[in-house]
């Protein structure tokens, strides 16, 4: 082999390797991950000469959708024809009679053509979504792009979904979102191959769907005078004095349904009963048991007002669900059934008589009676009932599908009873939860559901039998909007968690890899979201700060969920930069320190996150502590872990919690110790105004019998109290904080006292 031949051989090999590598990179862009994929060298060039063809009238809408999607960024007016004779520069969409599954597709890209085949138009549509992700991210622009090349790597894909139900929910009752936003939401679902959109149309804070037979539902029920500012459970809630109003006409409902159908997405309406009906009862108060005026709720949570299980109520609901059934072609109607407070039922003479007549011994059986009556109404319209897992209580309606939201146990129980199940556990796939504890996160309801946690969620519990696992037909994410007022905020909460859930529901379980997803597909997705002008969260790159007790000191560790992400930190509370200390190993803290950290997300080329944690090594770290009234199980350790919570968003796990009782604790310092100050944190969570104690007192003792008063304070300020006193040698400290125990809120019958830390100096 001469030098020129060797040079040519090496050049060709390197080019082939580069093409193969580029194909691998392109594959990394496809989310959810396809089931089977194979690469060859070369690429298909999309040009203004490209033709799109189809072989069957049912394939034409998908072909037209593809042409319309490609037009804005490319400027190409690609022809859509039936059965082209051309063998070059053509995209063909073929419906085929074969053994392919209903949503399965095959996509083959060569230098001359792109061939898409499926048994159904839905399969063709999902193939188009994969093709979309094989193109450069600039294809997402809805404006012309001066792009030199629109290349698609040569690849063969054979793909199908794991679950038949791949759902996402949107609450438009708490905050109203217009038709244009709902359409964008549906587009996002289509891109990620979701096939169900659950539209939560009614709740205590607003009725959002026009019902011709009952116009007051929207005339009265669609408007509330104002909304709580901060959190609905704040110690002293405030209101914004700004009315919230809005509903969808039946014409708009039909418009959204048609839009979703064109994207092969089923729209399931939710009309929530018998609880979460304040807006309904504000319009028609005679449908309650007490028949007194009810208001559309300006706060969030659970309320006493519920529908009464009378015949006039069922007649009313029959008319409502009949109109809903006529509007929505979906096979399902969601009837809610969750969080029903039964106080008004138990006080009602009518309900007491009903219980006697039907041999109902518990309020749960009354709820079951109500749900079964409504299920009959819905089933009479030829629809299948879906309800939240509370519909299991007292006996579930025959044929109902159970949506398990309070964890997985409801779904497990329903599957064992032979019911189909859609998993929607709030701990994993409720997207109204925080994505990190960092202070750059926007307000959320509570809880923590990180991108990594969403990705690792598995809908089919392993301890179910194979037959029972088959009854888990899929899962559904949820976006509740109590604290989400704007489209930009909604985008932040949905992306990129939507992509992680998509991969769980579509991709083969054995093929899932957090490392591969986070290192390869996620960076590409974030670039694509940016081109789509989506306000996607970067929270997966955010740092987490934690500490453990090491004698009288604290050892601080930092991490991120994405391997290889660099963390920069400061120890004086100043904002970290790329010139700050880079975290490499745990740090020992021996004095009060405010640790602050940010991460450098390489794929984004920027610092992200704002993790902060105030650490306070003190004399009571890890010492023995006893209580007159036990706190919530497992929470006592938070009193002496050296961490104050006021630099992070509220998490119940940061506190020792006393429900309807006081804190009265005795700390054993092991030996006689000179003390002169005690700091107590209690109203520390960002975003939440926690209930403060009414008074705090400190005593000292050397025998745990004879106590000397050291300090006290009445009506302590927030977020913490510092009680100083003359330096005194004591072995034992007694600390009391009095719970006000004066809840006026039905949602908090027992007032919680949260204590963050008892720091002794």
Q: Is the pLDDT of residue 27 over 50?
A: no
Give the CATH number of the domain where residue 600 resides: 2.60.40.730
Q: Do residue 183 and residue 141 come from a single domain?
A: no
Q: Do residue 560 and residue 487 come from a single domain?
A: no
Whether residue 512 is contained in a domain is answered as no
Question: What is the distance between the alpha carbons of residues 20 and 23, in angstroms, rounded to a whole number?
Answer: 5
From first CA to last CA, the distance across the chain in angstroms is 82
Whether residue 511 is contained in a domain is answered as no
Which pLDDT belongs to residue 6?
44
Which pLDDT belongs to residue 304?
95
Question: What is the distance between the alpha carbons of residues 526 and 449, in angstroms, rounded to a whole number?
Answer: 19
Q: How confident is the model at residue 148 (pLDDT cuts 50, 70, 90)?
A: confident
Which pLDDT belongs to residue 5?
45
Residues with Cβ within 8 Å of 212's Cβ and at least 6 positions away in sequence, in order, are 250, 323
Q: How confident is the model at residue 15 (pLDDT cuts 50, 70, 90)?
A: very low
Residues with Cβ within 8 Å of 315's Cβ and at least 6 positions away in sequence, in order, are none
* Residue 517: burial class (beta carbons within 10 Å; 0-12, 13-18, 19+): buried
Q: How confident is the model at residue 359 (pLDDT cuts 50, 70, 90)?
A: very high
Both tokens of 313, joined, read 């109520």
Which pLDDT belongs to residue 751?
81
Q: Helix 349-357 crosses helix 363-380 at what angle (to 10 degrees)?
A: 80
Q: How many other C-beta atoms lie within 10 A of the C-beta of residue 593?
A: 20
**pLDDT tens for each residue of 88-145:** 899 999 999 988 999 999 999 999 999 999 999 999 999 999 999 999 999 999 999 9
Place of tokens 């992400």: 565
Domain end residue (candidates: 506, 522, 553):
506
Q: How confident is the model at residue 26 (pLDDT cuts 50, 70, 90)?
A: very low
Q: How many other C-beta atoms lie within 10 A of the C-beta of residue 744?
A: 6
Nearest to 107 by CA among 125, 131, 133: 131
The rounded Cα 400 to chain-centroid distance in angstroms is 25
Which pLDDT belongs to residue 749?
60
Which range has the worst mean pLDDT, 46-50, 152-156, 283-287, 719-723?
719-723
Which pLDDT belongs to residue 24?
46
Domain that holds residue 575: 539-615
Give the bridge partners for 521, in sequence order. none
Nearest to 222 by CA among 256, 203, 247: 247
Contact (CB, 8 A) for 53 and 81: yes
Which pLDDT belongs to residue 646?
87
The pLDDT of 161-182, averaged and rounded, is 98
Whether residue 586 is contained in a domain is answered as yes
Place of tokens 């005690």: 678
**For the chain, what is the domain count?**
4
Both tokens of 121, joined, read 């138009």
The per-residue pLDDT of the chain, averaged, comes to: 93
Q: Which residue has the higher pLDDT, 11 or 210?
A: 210
Question: What is the distance between the alpha carbons of residues 627 and 606, in angstroms, rounded to a whole number?
Answer: 48
**pLDDT tens for each residue of 630-641:** 999 999 999 999
CA angle (538, 540, 542) in 5-degree steps: 80
Q: Do residue 176 and residue 87 come from a single domain?
A: no
Q: Do residue 86 and residue 185 come from a single domain?
A: no
Which pLDDT belongs to residue 743?
57
Both tokens of 746, joined, read 């039905």
CA angle (670, 676, 678) in 5-degree steps: 80
Which pLDDT belongs to residue 687?
80
Q: Is the pLDDT of residue 21 over 90?
A: no
The pLDDT of 455-477, averaged and rounded, is 97
Q: Helix 179-191 crosses helix 121-134 at what angle (to 10 degrees)?
A: 80
Q: Do residue 432 and residue 371 come from a single domain?
A: yes
Q: Do residue 268 and residue 370 come from a single domain?
A: yes
The pLDDT of 662-684, averaged and rounded, is 94
Give the CATH number of the domain where residue 252 resides: 3.20.20.80
**pLDDT tens for each residue of 474-510:** 999 999 999 999 999 999 999 999 999 999 999 999 9
Both tokens of 158, joined, read 């054979």
Nearest to 475 by CA among 521, 536, 411: 411
Q: Which residue has the higher pLDDT, 237 or 183?
A: 183
Q: Is the pLDDT of residue 745 over 90?
A: no
Whether residue 307 is contained in a domain is answered as yes
Q: Do residue 67 and residue 141 come from a single domain?
A: yes
Q: Do residue 153 and residue 179 come from a single domain?
A: no
Q: Is the pLDDT of residue 752 over 90?
A: no
Cα distances (angstroms) measured from residue 262 to each of 134, 258, 385, 477: 22, 6, 24, 22
The pLDDT of 553-562, averaged and rounded, is 98
Q: How confident is the model at residue 146 (pLDDT cuts 50, 70, 90)?
A: confident
Whether residue 477 is contained in a domain is answered as yes
Domain end residue (candidates: 100, 132, 159):
159
Q: Do residue 606 and residue 722 come from a single domain?
A: no
Q: Do residue 43 and residue 80 come from a single domain?
A: yes
Contact (CB, 8 A) for 534 and 497: no
- Catalytically active residues are 339
Question: What is the distance between the alpha carbons of residues 229 and 241, in angstroms, rounded to a whole number?
Answer: 10
């Amino acid at each position: 082999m001469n030098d020129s031949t060797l040079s040519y051989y090496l050049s060709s090999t390197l080019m082939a390797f580069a093409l193969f590598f580029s194909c691998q990179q392109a594959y990394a862009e496809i989310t959810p991950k396809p089931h089977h994929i194979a690469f060859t060298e070369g690429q298909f060039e999309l040009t203004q000469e490209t033709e799109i063809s189809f072989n069957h009238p049912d394939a034409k809408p998908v072909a037209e959708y593809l042409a319309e999607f490609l037009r804005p960024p490319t400027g190409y007016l690609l022809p859509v024809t039936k059965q082209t004779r051309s063998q070059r520069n053509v995209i063909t969409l073929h419906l085929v009679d074969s053994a392919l599954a209903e949503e399965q597709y095959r996509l083959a890209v060569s230098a001359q053509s792109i061939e898409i085949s499926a048994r159904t138009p839905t399969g063709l549509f999902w193939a188009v979504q994969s093709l979309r992700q094989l193109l450069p991210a600039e294809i997402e622009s809805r404006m012309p792009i001066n792009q030199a090349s629109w290349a698609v790597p040569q690849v063969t894909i054979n793909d199908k979904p794991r679950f038949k139900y791949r759902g996402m929910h949107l609450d438009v009752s708490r905050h109203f979102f217009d038709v244009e936003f709902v359409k964008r939401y549906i587009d996002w679902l289509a891109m990620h191959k979701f096939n169900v959109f659950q539209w939560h149309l009614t709740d205590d804070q607003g009725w959002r769907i026009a019902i011709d037979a009952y116009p007051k539902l929207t005339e009265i029920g669609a408007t509330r005078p104002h909304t709580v500012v901060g959190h609905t459970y704040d110690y002293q809630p405030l209101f914004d004095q700004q009315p919230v109003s809005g509903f969808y006409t039946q014409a708009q409902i039909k418009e959204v349904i048609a839009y979703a159908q064109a994207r092969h997405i089923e729209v399931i309406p939710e009309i929530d009963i018998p609880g979460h009906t304040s807006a309904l009862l504000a319009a028609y108060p005679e449908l309650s048991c007490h028949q007194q005026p009810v208001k559309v709720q300006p706060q969030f949570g659970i309320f006493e007002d519920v529908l009464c299980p009378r015949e006039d109520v069922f007649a009313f609901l029959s008319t409502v669900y009949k109109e809903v059934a006529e509007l929505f072609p979906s096979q399902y109607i969601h009837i809610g059934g969750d969080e029903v407070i039964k106080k008004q039922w138990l006080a009602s003479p009518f309900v007491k008589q009903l219980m006697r007549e039907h041999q109902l011994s518990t309020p749960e059986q009354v709820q079951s009676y109500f749900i079964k009556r409504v299920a009959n109404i819905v089933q009479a319209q030829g629809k299948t009932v879906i309800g939240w897992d509370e519909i299991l209580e007292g006996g579930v309606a025959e044929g109902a599908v159970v949506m398990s939201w309070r964890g997985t146990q409801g779904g497990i129980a329903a599957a064992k009873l032979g019911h189909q199940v859609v998993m929607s556990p709030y701990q994993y796939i409720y997207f109204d939860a925080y994505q990190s504890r960092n202070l750059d996160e926007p307000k959320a309801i509570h809880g923590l559901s990180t991108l990594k946690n969403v990705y690792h969620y598995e809908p089919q519990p392993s301890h179910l039998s194979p037959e029972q696992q088959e009854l888990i037909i899929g899962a559904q994410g949820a976006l509740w909007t109590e604290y989400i007022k704007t489209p930009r905020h909604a985008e932040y909460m949905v992306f990129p968690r939507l992509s992680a859930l998509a991969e769980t529901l579509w991709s083969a379980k054995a093929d899932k890899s957090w490392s591969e997803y986070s290192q390869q597909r996620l960076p590409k997705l974030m670039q694509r979201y940016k081109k789509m002008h989506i306000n996607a969260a970067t929270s997966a790159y955010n740092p987490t700060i934690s500490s453990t007790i090491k004698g009288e000191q604290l050892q601080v560790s930092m991490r991120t969920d994405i391997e290889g992400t660099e963390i920069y930190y400061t120890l004086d509370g100043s904002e970290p930069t790329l010139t700050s200390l880079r975290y490499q190993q745990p740090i020992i803290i021996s004095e009060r320190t405010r640790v602050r950290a940010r991460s450098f997300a390489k794929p984004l080329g920027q610092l992200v996150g704002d993790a902060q944690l105030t650490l306070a090594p003190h004399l009571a770290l890890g010492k023995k502590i006893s209580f007159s009234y036990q706190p919530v199980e497992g929470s006592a350790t938070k009193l002496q872990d050296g961490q104050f919570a006021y630099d992070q968003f509220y998490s119940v796990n940061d506190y020792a919690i006393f429900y309807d009782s006081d804190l009265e604790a005795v700390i054993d310092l092991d030996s006689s110790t000179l003390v002169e100050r005690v700091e107590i944190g209690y109203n520390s969570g960002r975003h939440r105004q926690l209930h403060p104690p009414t008074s705090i007192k400190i005593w000292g003792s050397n025998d745990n019998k004879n106590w000397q008063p050291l300090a006290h304070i009445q009506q302590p300020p927030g977020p913490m109290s510092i009680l100083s006193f003359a330096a005194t040698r004591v072995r034992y400290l007694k600390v009391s904080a009095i719970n006000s125990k004066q809840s006026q809120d039905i949602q908090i019958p027992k007032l919680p006292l949260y204590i963050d830390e008892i720091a002794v100096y």
